[in-house]
Amino acid sequence: MRVAVIADSHFDQSSRWDECCRVHEWIAVWCRENAVDIVCLSGDLFERKSTPHERTHVAGWLRRLAEHHTVIGVYGNHEAVEDLDVFNLLATRYPVRFHARPAVVLGASNRGAGLTVMCLPWPRKAHLAAALGAVSLEAAGLAAGEALRSVLRGLGQQADAHPGPRLLLTHAMVRGSMTSAGQPLVGCDLEVSLEDLDLARADAVALGHVHRQQAWVLDSGAPAIYPGSPRRTSFGEVEPKGFVVLDFDEHHSVSWERVETPCAPMLLVSATWEPGALRWAGVVGPLEGAEIRLRYSVANDQRDAARDAAGLLRAEWIAAGACVVKVEEEVITTQRARAPEIAAALTIEDKLRALWARQGIEGERVERLLGRVGHLNS
Protein backbone atom coordinates (compact mmCIF):
# COMPACT_ATOMS: atom_id res chain seq x y z
CA MET A 1 0.00 0.00 0.00
CA ARG A 2 1.59 3.25 -1.16
CA VAL A 3 0.27 6.57 0.14
CA ALA A 4 1.29 10.07 -0.95
CA VAL A 5 0.78 12.83 1.63
CA ILE A 6 0.56 16.41 0.35
CA ALA A 7 0.25 19.27 2.82
CA ASP A 8 -0.26 23.04 2.74
CA SER A 9 -0.79 23.58 -0.98
CA HIS A 10 -2.23 27.09 -0.42
CA PHE A 11 -3.77 27.55 -3.86
CA ASP A 12 -4.05 31.34 -4.22
CA GLN A 13 -4.58 32.99 -7.59
CA SER A 14 -3.28 36.31 -6.21
CA SER A 15 0.14 34.92 -5.31
CA ARG A 16 2.46 32.88 -7.55
CA TRP A 17 -0.49 31.08 -9.15
CA ASP A 18 1.36 29.67 -12.15
CA GLU A 19 4.11 28.26 -9.93
CA CYS A 20 1.56 26.61 -7.63
CA CYS A 21 -0.33 25.01 -10.53
CA ARG A 22 2.88 23.82 -12.21
CA VAL A 23 4.18 22.11 -9.06
CA HIS A 24 0.87 20.36 -8.36
CA GLU A 25 0.60 19.07 -11.92
CA TRP A 26 4.10 17.64 -11.50
CA ILE A 27 2.93 15.89 -8.32
CA ALA A 28 -0.08 14.38 -10.11
CA VAL A 29 2.16 12.95 -12.82
CA TRP A 30 4.65 11.61 -10.26
CA CYS A 31 1.91 9.84 -8.30
CA ARG A 32 0.53 8.23 -11.47
CA GLU A 33 3.94 7.06 -12.63
CA ASN A 34 5.04 5.72 -9.22
CA ALA A 35 2.14 3.39 -8.34
CA VAL A 36 0.59 5.50 -5.58
CA ASP A 37 -2.62 3.96 -4.24
CA ILE A 38 -4.04 6.77 -2.09
CA VAL A 39 -3.38 10.51 -2.04
CA CYS A 40 -3.92 12.17 1.35
CA LEU A 41 -4.24 15.96 1.62
CA SER A 42 -3.49 17.15 5.15
CA GLY A 43 -5.11 20.58 5.08
CA ASP A 44 -4.74 24.16 3.83
CA LEU A 45 -5.56 23.28 0.25
CA PHE A 46 -6.51 26.97 -0.19
CA GLU A 47 -4.94 30.11 1.22
CA ARG A 48 -8.35 31.53 2.22
CA LYS A 49 -11.98 31.22 1.17
CA SER A 50 -11.64 30.02 -2.41
CA THR A 51 -12.63 31.93 -5.53
CA PRO A 52 -14.56 30.35 -8.42
CA HIS A 53 -11.37 30.31 -10.50
CA GLU A 54 -9.41 28.57 -7.74
CA ARG A 55 -12.16 25.98 -7.16
CA THR A 56 -12.43 25.23 -10.88
CA HIS A 57 -8.71 24.63 -11.22
CA VAL A 58 -8.45 22.51 -8.07
CA ALA A 59 -11.49 20.47 -9.14
CA GLY A 60 -9.69 19.61 -12.37
CA TRP A 61 -6.54 18.67 -10.48
CA LEU A 62 -8.52 16.44 -8.10
CA ARG A 63 -10.24 14.73 -11.05
CA ARG A 64 -6.85 13.95 -12.57
CA LEU A 65 -5.68 12.48 -9.27
CA ALA A 66 -8.89 10.47 -8.84
CA GLU A 67 -8.44 8.81 -12.24
CA HIS A 68 -5.73 6.71 -10.56
CA HIS A 69 -5.96 7.16 -6.77
CA THR A 70 -8.44 7.49 -3.93
CA VAL A 71 -8.18 11.04 -2.51
CA ILE A 72 -8.77 11.69 1.21
CA GLY A 73 -8.39 15.12 2.79
CA VAL A 74 -8.99 17.11 5.98
CA TYR A 75 -9.71 20.78 6.58
CA GLY A 76 -6.86 23.04 7.69
CA ASN A 77 -6.90 26.31 9.57
CA HIS A 78 -6.92 28.36 6.32
CA GLU A 79 -10.02 26.64 4.94
CA ALA A 80 -13.33 28.50 5.11
CA VAL A 81 -16.28 26.61 6.59
CA GLU A 82 -17.71 24.09 4.07
CA ASP A 83 -15.37 25.36 1.35
CA LEU A 84 -14.09 21.89 0.45
CA ASP A 85 -17.43 20.08 0.67
CA VAL A 86 -18.21 20.76 -2.99
CA PHE A 87 -15.35 18.47 -4.06
CA ASN A 88 -17.09 15.52 -2.40
CA LEU A 89 -19.67 15.79 -5.20
CA LEU A 90 -17.17 15.32 -8.02
CA ALA A 91 -17.90 12.45 -10.41
CA THR A 92 -14.61 10.56 -10.48
CA ARG A 93 -13.32 7.05 -11.04
CA TYR A 94 -12.01 6.79 -7.46
CA PRO A 95 -13.59 8.69 -4.56
CA VAL A 96 -12.61 12.19 -3.42
CA ARG A 97 -13.56 12.88 0.21
CA PHE A 98 -12.75 15.86 2.44
CA HIS A 99 -13.56 15.76 6.14
CA ALA A 100 -14.45 18.77 8.26
CA ARG A 101 -15.11 16.62 11.34
CA PRO A 102 -13.20 13.69 12.90
CA ALA A 103 -13.91 10.47 11.02
CA VAL A 104 -12.54 7.01 10.32
CA VAL A 105 -12.63 6.02 6.65
CA LEU A 106 -11.35 3.15 4.54
CA GLY A 107 -9.09 4.01 1.66
CA ALA A 108 -9.24 1.41 -1.08
CA SER A 109 -6.82 1.28 -3.96
CA ASN A 110 -6.94 0.06 -7.54
CA ARG A 111 -5.18 -3.08 -6.30
CA GLY A 112 -7.86 -3.83 -3.74
CA ALA A 113 -5.72 -3.12 -0.66
CA GLY A 114 -7.22 -1.30 2.32
CA LEU A 115 -5.97 1.46 4.60
CA THR A 116 -7.76 2.76 7.69
CA VAL A 117 -7.46 6.55 7.73
CA MET A 118 -8.27 8.40 10.95
CA CYS A 119 -9.13 11.94 9.86
CA LEU A 120 -8.69 14.82 12.29
CA PRO A 121 -9.19 18.32 10.81
CA TRP A 122 -7.73 21.45 12.41
CA PRO A 123 -8.88 21.47 16.07
CA ARG A 124 -10.33 24.87 17.04
CA LYS A 125 -10.34 25.80 20.72
CA ALA A 126 -12.82 28.61 20.06
CA HIS A 127 -15.47 26.12 18.94
CA LEU A 128 -15.03 24.04 22.06
CA ALA A 129 -15.06 27.13 24.32
CA ALA A 130 -18.36 28.23 22.80
CA ALA A 131 -19.85 24.81 23.49
CA LEU A 132 -18.60 24.87 27.08
CA GLY A 133 -20.34 28.15 27.84
CA ALA A 134 -19.21 30.58 30.52
CA VAL A 135 -15.87 29.23 31.70
CA SER A 136 -12.53 30.90 32.25
CA LEU A 137 -9.89 30.99 29.52
CA GLU A 138 -7.68 28.70 31.59
CA ALA A 139 -10.50 26.20 32.12
CA ALA A 140 -11.41 26.33 28.43
CA GLY A 141 -7.80 25.67 27.45
CA LEU A 142 -7.53 22.66 29.76
CA ALA A 143 -10.88 21.30 28.58
CA ALA A 144 -9.90 21.77 24.94
CA GLY A 145 -6.73 19.78 25.40
CA GLU A 146 -8.53 16.94 27.17
CA ALA A 147 -11.32 16.94 24.55
CA LEU A 148 -8.73 16.62 21.78
CA ARG A 149 -7.10 13.69 23.56
CA SER A 150 -10.51 12.05 23.88
CA VAL A 151 -11.07 12.48 20.14
CA LEU A 152 -7.72 10.83 19.39
CA ARG A 153 -8.54 7.89 21.68
CA GLY A 154 -11.96 7.58 20.05
CA LEU A 155 -10.48 7.50 16.56
CA GLY A 156 -8.17 4.71 17.64
CA GLN A 157 -11.07 2.72 19.09
CA GLN A 158 -13.12 3.12 15.91
CA ALA A 159 -10.15 2.00 13.82
CA ASP A 160 -9.94 -1.23 15.83
CA ALA A 161 -12.90 -2.53 13.80
CA HIS A 162 -10.76 -2.61 10.65
CA PRO A 163 -7.83 -4.98 10.10
CA GLY A 164 -5.70 -2.85 7.76
CA PRO A 165 -2.80 -0.54 8.50
CA ARG A 166 -3.74 2.70 10.29
CA LEU A 167 -2.85 6.26 9.29
CA LEU A 168 -3.71 9.34 11.35
CA LEU A 169 -4.24 12.23 8.91
CA THR A 170 -4.44 15.59 10.66
CA HIS A 171 -3.82 19.31 10.39
CA ALA A 172 -2.37 20.24 13.76
CA MET A 173 0.29 22.22 15.58
CA VAL A 174 2.79 19.84 17.14
CA ARG A 175 4.48 21.33 20.19
CA GLY A 176 8.10 22.21 19.44
CA SER A 177 7.78 22.27 15.65
CA MET A 178 10.31 24.39 13.77
CA THR A 179 9.67 27.11 11.21
CA SER A 180 11.54 27.56 7.94
CA ALA A 181 13.75 30.07 9.76
CA GLY A 182 14.74 27.39 12.28
CA GLN A 183 12.77 28.90 15.16
CA PRO A 184 10.46 26.79 17.37
CA LEU A 185 6.75 27.61 17.16
CA VAL A 186 5.24 28.46 20.54
CA GLY A 187 2.05 29.99 21.89
CA CYS A 188 -0.35 28.58 19.28
CA ASP A 189 -4.07 28.33 19.94
CA LEU A 190 -4.20 24.58 20.54
CA GLU A 191 -1.05 22.48 20.41
CA VAL A 192 -0.73 18.71 20.46
CA SER A 193 2.16 16.75 21.89
CA LEU A 194 3.75 13.63 20.47
CA GLU A 195 2.21 11.74 23.39
CA ASP A 196 -1.22 13.03 22.33
CA LEU A 197 -0.74 11.78 18.77
CA ASP A 198 0.21 8.33 20.07
CA LEU A 199 -3.26 7.96 21.63
CA ALA A 200 -4.72 7.07 18.22
CA ARG A 201 -2.36 4.06 17.99
CA ALA A 202 -1.64 4.73 14.33
CA ASP A 203 1.06 3.02 12.33
CA ALA A 204 1.99 6.45 10.95
CA VAL A 205 0.90 10.07 11.46
CA ALA A 206 0.68 12.46 8.49
CA LEU A 207 0.54 16.12 9.50
CA GLY A 208 -0.17 19.46 7.91
CA HIS A 209 0.27 23.08 9.07
CA VAL A 210 4.04 23.68 9.35
CA HIS A 211 5.75 24.39 6.03
CA ARG A 212 9.14 23.00 7.02
CA GLN A 213 9.70 19.27 6.56
CA GLN A 214 10.33 17.50 9.90
CA ALA A 215 9.59 14.18 11.56
CA TRP A 216 9.60 12.38 14.90
CA VAL A 217 9.28 8.79 16.09
CA LEU A 218 6.50 8.25 18.64
CA ASP A 219 6.91 5.99 21.68
CA SER A 220 4.97 3.33 19.77
CA GLY A 221 7.58 3.44 17.00
CA ALA A 222 5.25 5.13 14.49
CA PRO A 223 6.65 8.01 12.46
CA ALA A 224 4.92 11.41 12.74
CA ILE A 225 5.75 13.52 9.69
CA TYR A 226 5.24 17.04 8.45
CA PRO A 227 5.79 16.75 4.66
CA GLY A 228 6.18 20.52 4.48
CA SER A 229 4.67 22.62 1.72
CA PRO A 230 5.17 21.36 -1.87
CA ARG A 231 6.31 24.84 -2.98
CA ARG A 232 7.75 27.98 -1.46
CA THR A 233 5.01 30.28 -0.26
CA SER A 234 7.19 33.10 1.10
CA PHE A 235 10.69 34.53 0.84
CA GLY A 236 13.10 32.87 3.21
CA GLU A 237 11.77 29.30 2.75
CA VAL A 238 15.08 28.08 1.42
CA GLU A 239 14.77 24.44 2.51
CA PRO A 240 13.85 21.72 -0.02
CA LYS A 241 10.12 21.42 -0.71
CA GLY A 242 8.03 18.39 -1.56
CA PHE A 243 5.72 15.72 -0.18
CA VAL A 244 5.97 12.36 1.57
CA VAL A 245 5.33 8.82 0.34
CA LEU A 246 4.49 6.08 2.86
CA ASP A 247 4.79 2.38 2.05
CA PHE A 248 2.86 -0.06 4.28
CA ASP A 249 3.60 -3.79 4.10
CA GLU A 250 1.30 -6.68 4.99
CA HIS A 251 2.51 -6.56 8.59
CA HIS A 252 1.59 -2.86 8.88
CA SER A 253 5.23 -1.84 9.04
CA VAL A 254 5.83 1.46 7.30
CA SER A 255 8.75 3.01 5.50
CA TRP A 256 8.71 6.50 4.07
CA GLU A 257 10.60 8.88 1.86
CA ARG A 258 10.46 12.55 0.91
CA VAL A 259 9.96 13.46 -2.73
CA GLU A 260 11.39 16.84 -3.64
CA THR A 261 9.39 18.95 -6.10
CA PRO A 262 11.00 21.11 -8.81
CA CYS A 263 9.75 24.37 -7.30
CA ALA A 264 11.34 27.73 -7.95
CA PRO A 265 13.77 29.17 -5.37
CA MET A 266 12.61 32.17 -3.34
CA LEU A 267 15.58 34.09 -1.99
CA LEU A 268 15.71 36.95 0.51
CA VAL A 269 18.94 38.96 0.28
CA SER A 270 19.48 41.43 3.12
CA ALA A 271 22.21 43.87 2.15
CA THR A 272 23.84 47.03 3.48
CA TRP A 273 25.17 49.89 1.39
CA GLU A 274 28.79 50.59 2.08
CA PRO A 275 30.36 53.40 0.06
CA GLY A 276 30.98 51.84 -3.34
CA ALA A 277 28.93 48.63 -3.10
CA LEU A 278 26.01 46.67 -1.67
CA ARG A 279 27.28 43.97 0.67
CA TRP A 280 25.58 40.89 2.19
CA ALA A 281 26.57 37.62 3.84
CA GLY A 282 26.75 34.34 1.93
CA VAL A 283 26.26 33.45 -1.73
CA VAL A 284 23.10 34.20 -3.69
CA GLY A 285 21.90 31.19 -5.66
CA PRO A 286 20.73 29.23 -7.46
CA LEU A 287 19.49 32.02 -9.74
CA GLU A 288 17.81 30.02 -12.50
CA GLY A 289 14.06 30.56 -12.23
CA ALA A 290 14.44 32.23 -8.83
CA GLU A 291 12.32 34.93 -7.27
CA ILE A 292 14.55 37.27 -5.29
CA ARG A 293 13.78 40.03 -2.81
CA LEU A 294 16.73 42.38 -2.42
CA ARG A 295 16.27 44.44 0.73
CA TYR A 296 19.05 46.90 1.50
CA SER A 297 19.66 49.58 4.12
CA VAL A 298 21.29 52.89 3.20
CA ALA A 299 21.95 56.26 4.81
CA ASN A 300 19.71 59.06 3.56
CA ASP A 301 22.53 61.02 1.94
CA GLN A 302 23.72 57.99 -0.10
CA ARG A 303 20.42 56.81 -1.53
CA ASP A 304 21.11 57.73 -5.16
CA ALA A 305 24.34 55.73 -5.35
CA ALA A 306 22.76 52.72 -3.61
CA ARG A 307 19.69 52.86 -5.87
CA ASP A 308 21.90 52.82 -8.99
CA ALA A 309 23.90 49.87 -7.64
CA ALA A 310 20.69 47.95 -6.80
CA GLY A 311 19.40 48.52 -10.34
CA LEU A 312 22.59 47.15 -11.86
CA LEU A 313 22.47 44.13 -9.53
CA ARG A 314 18.85 43.46 -10.43
CA ALA A 315 19.71 43.50 -14.14
CA GLU A 316 22.65 41.17 -13.52
CA TRP A 317 20.51 38.62 -11.67
CA ILE A 318 17.76 38.75 -14.32
CA ALA A 319 20.38 38.11 -17.00
CA ALA A 320 21.65 35.13 -14.97
CA GLY A 321 18.19 33.49 -15.00
CA ALA A 322 16.19 34.97 -12.12
CA CYS A 323 12.57 35.49 -13.13
CA VAL A 324 11.67 38.16 -10.56
CA VAL A 325 13.84 40.54 -8.53
CA LYS A 326 12.04 42.84 -6.11
CA VAL A 327 14.09 45.69 -4.65
CA GLU A 328 13.23 47.26 -1.29
CA GLU A 329 15.06 50.23 0.21
CA GLU A 330 15.32 50.82 3.94
CA VAL A 331 16.54 54.34 4.72
CA ILE A 332 18.67 54.83 7.83
CA THR A 333 17.87 58.25 9.25
CA THR A 334 20.71 60.17 10.87
CA GLN A 335 20.39 63.10 13.22
CA ARG A 336 23.16 65.66 13.16
CA ALA A 337 23.33 69.11 14.74
CA ARG A 338 23.58 71.88 12.16
CA ALA A 339 26.16 73.58 14.41
CA PRO A 340 27.89 70.99 16.60
CA GLU A 341 29.88 73.70 18.37
CA ILE A 342 26.61 75.27 19.58
CA ALA A 343 25.38 71.91 20.87
CA ALA A 344 28.69 71.40 22.69
CA ALA A 345 28.63 74.80 24.44
CA LEU A 346 27.55 74.59 28.09
CA THR A 347 26.41 78.15 28.95
CA ILE A 348 24.04 80.57 27.23
CA GLU A 349 26.91 82.99 26.63
CA ASP A 350 29.05 80.29 25.05
CA LYS A 351 26.16 79.14 22.84
CA LEU A 352 25.53 82.72 21.67
CA ARG A 353 29.20 83.29 20.93
CA ALA A 354 29.26 80.04 18.89
CA LEU A 355 26.08 81.06 17.02
CA TRP A 356 27.35 84.56 16.18
CA ALA A 357 30.70 83.15 15.11
CA ARG A 358 28.89 80.99 12.51
CA GLN A 359 27.00 84.08 11.37
CA GLY A 360 30.20 86.13 11.02
CA ILE A 361 29.47 88.49 13.91
CA GLU A 362 32.73 89.38 15.65
CA GLY A 363 34.58 91.85 17.85
CA GLU A 364 32.89 94.75 19.58
CA ARG A 365 29.48 93.84 18.18
CA VAL A 366 29.55 90.53 20.06
CA GLU A 367 30.33 92.30 23.32
CA ARG A 368 27.62 94.87 22.69
CA LEU A 369 25.03 92.13 22.03
CA LEU A 370 26.07 90.23 25.15
CA GLY A 371 25.63 93.44 27.13
CA ARG A 372 22.07 93.76 25.87
CA VAL A 373 21.38 90.15 26.78
CA GLY A 374 22.71 90.81 30.26
CA HIS A 375 20.48 93.88 30.52
CA LEU A 376 17.41 91.81 29.56
CA ASN A 377 18.23 89.20 32.22
CA SER A 378 18.74 91.80 35.00
Could you report the per-residue pLDDT of 322-366, keeping only the tens digit for each?
988 999 999 997 655 566 777 778 888 888 888 878 788 888 887
Q: Return the pLDDT at 185.
A: 55
> Residue 112 region, left (φ>0) first, then alpha (ψ -120 to 50), else beta?
left
Choose the weakest-confidence range: 38-47, 176-185, 276-285, 304-313. Answer: 176-185
Q: Return the pLDDT at 280.
A: 94
| CB of 82 closer than 8 Å to CB of 100 | yes
**φ and ψ at 313, to 5 degrees?**
-65, -40
Q: Return the pLDDT at 237.
A: 80
User: Above pLDDT 90, what percent of the chain?
Assistant: 63
Residue 139: CB partners within 8 Å, gap ≥ 6?
132
| CB of 268 closer than 8 Å to CB of 327 | no
| pLDDT band per the 50, 70, 90 thresholds, residue 117 | very high
Q: Summarize the confidence of residues 61-73 as an average pLDDT.
A: 97
Q: Return the pLDDT at 335.
A: 59
Choose the weakest-confidence range: 4-13, 305-314, 333-342. Answer: 333-342
Q: Return the pLDDT at 114.
A: 83
Q: Return the pLDDT at 10.
A: 96
Q: Summarize the confidence of residues 266-270 as an average pLDDT.
A: 90
201-235 confidence digits (pLDDT tens): 999 999 999 999 999 999 999 999 999 999 998 88
Q: Return the pLDDT at 187.
A: 47
Average pLDDT, the chain: 88
Q: Return the pLDDT at 310.
A: 95
Residue type, position 26, single letter: W
Q: Return the pLDDT at 56.
A: 97
Q: Taking the domains of the chain in order of start, what are their residue ranges?
A: 2-260, 266-332, 340-377
| CB of 219 closer than 8 Å to CB of 202 | no
Q: From CA 176, how far away is CA 340, in angstroms rounded?
A: 53
DSSP 80: P
User: Above pLDDT 70, what percent of the chain?
Assistant: 89
Is the model's pLDDT at 118 over the cut of 60? yes
Whether the full predicted model's pTM is greater than 0.75, yes or no, is: yes
User: What is the fold of 2-260?
Assistant: Purple Acid Phosphatase; chain A, domain 2 (3.60.21)
164-198 confidence digits (pLDDT tens): 899 999 999 998 887 765 555 544 667 899 999 99
The three-point CA angle 263-178-264 to 5° equals 10
**Among 142, 198, 133, which residue's Cα sits nearest to residue 170?**
198
Q: Return the pLDDT at 182.
A: 56
3-state secondary structure of 317: helix
| CB of 129 closer than 8 Å to CB of 144 | yes
Q: From CA 19, how far away is CA 40, in angstroms rounded?
A: 21
Q: Return the pLDDT at 126.
A: 58
Q: Return the pLDDT at 275.
A: 84
